[in-house]
Structures are given as structure tokens and as C-alpha cells.
Chain A
Amino acid sequence: NAGVTQTPKFRVLKTGQSMTLLCAQDMNHEYMYWYRQDPGMGLRLIHYSVGEGTTAKGEVPDGYNVSRLKKQNFLLGLESAAPSQTSVYFCASSYRRDRGNTEAFFGQGTRLTVV
């Protein structure tokens, strides 16, 4: 049982390049999220999905796009990378419940540097 798996773990991009970060979960969770973590700022929500085929914007969505074609996968795309997108990216997933066992499970992160 792998939980939440992110690929790649590290990446260096040049300004203007594009890339896709992949998140896969094997817990049959309905909800999936992409966060970025920057020093002193905590984790901030980029985009999220409440189910297969649906996505929505979080707090800091500009410059990113997402897709959820399959329930177990959530992709984060950068169309034209900028140095401000240098960060550590975390994917998370959770159950769709009103109460109890609603905690999010996180992947190991992708460290992205844009030069």
C-alpha cells in the first residue's frame, strides 16, 4: 500500500519551460489537492479536486493547471515556468466524509527549481 506517490521527486527547469507533476493515490480517496510549501509561508492550496473529472482553484492557482481524468491520479501542470514557482510541491488526498477520518494524506513532495 503505497499511499500517495509523487513523481518526479526533484526537477530543475529553465524559465519558460513546461512540465507536469504526477500524483497517484491507491486509497480510493475522492478528494485530491495540490499544495506548495515555501519557507515561512506554510502550505498553500493551488488547486483541488472533489472527484474524477472535476477540478477547482485554490488560493494560489495562477500559472498552474490541473487535470483529474482518473480517480487515482491528479496532475499539476506548469505551462511556462517562472522563478517564482520555485518551491516544494505536495499532493494530498482525503476521504469524502462529513466527520471522522477526514485527514489528508500527503506525498513525499517534489522539489522544483526554476532558473
Chain B
Amino acid sequence: EDQVTQSPEALRLQEGESSSLNCSYTVSGLRGLFWYRQDPGKGPEFLFTLYSAGEEKEKERLKATLTKKESFLHITAPKPEDSATYLCAVQGPMDTGRRALTFGSGTRLQVQP
């Protein structure tokens, strides 16, 4: 059974204070690891997909990295508008047919001015 654990559950940062969010996963054959951002009352918004260990992707102040057991979402010099819940999800073997994602519970990030 695929499992995804995110830490910390909540994180409060000062504007400009860089930090990292962790996503540990267990899956038999990773097809993809996904990061989403979710604002209150909204649906998850896609950020990144990582497919293999060592891969990195960046978008503005966000950088996602992947190892064989975990992924990190690094936030550099965050701004208040980066406040949101960040979700990590994995996609297991294609032969399951469904291609659905297994999600972690998320990290609630609050960036104070």
C-alpha cells in the first residue's frame, strides 16, 4: 500500500526566512511524485512533478527535490502570498490501471510579514 507522510504539519515563517517541507513516501515502483498548493476553500493547484531520484524543479521561490525515499519543497525568501497548504502525492505502478494519486495530509505554511 502506498503511503505518504508530510512534515511538519504546520510551519510559521517570517517573510524572507527560508525553510523546507518534507514528504516521505513508500511506494512499490514510483511513477511520479507531485507537489500541489491548496489555498483555503480552493482545489489543489499543481506545482511540480518529479519522476526519478536526483531530479529537481524550480518555480519562482519554490524548488522541489527528490530522493529514493523522500522529497523536499524548499522555499527561499518566502512572501506572505506563499501562505497555503502544500500537498505531496505519489503515483504508483501503472499496472494498477487507475493512475490515481495517494496524498499526504499536507503542511500548512503561514508566512508573516
Contact = CB atoms under 8 A, between A and B. Distances in A.
Contact of A41 (B34, B94, B105): B105
A106 B44 contact: yes
Contact of A40 (B89, B97, B105): B105
A42 B32 contact: no
Interface in B41-69: 41-46, 49, 51
A50 B97 contact: yes
By size class, the interface of chain A is 20 to 34
Interface string A87-108: 0001010101011001111111
Given A50-B98, A103-B49, A108-B42, A42 B104 contact: yes
Given A40-B105, A41-B105, A42-B106, A109 B34 contact: no
Contact of A106 (B45, B99, B100, B104): B45
A90 B43 contact: yes
Interface string B29-47: 0011010100001111110
Contact of B46 (A43, A44, A48, A103): A103
Nearest to B104: A42
A42 B46 contact: no
Max chain A C-beta neighbours (<10 A), residue from B44, B45, B91 = B44
Interface of A: 4, 31, 33, 35, 40-45, 48, 50, 56, 58, 90, 92, 94, 96, 98-99, 102-109
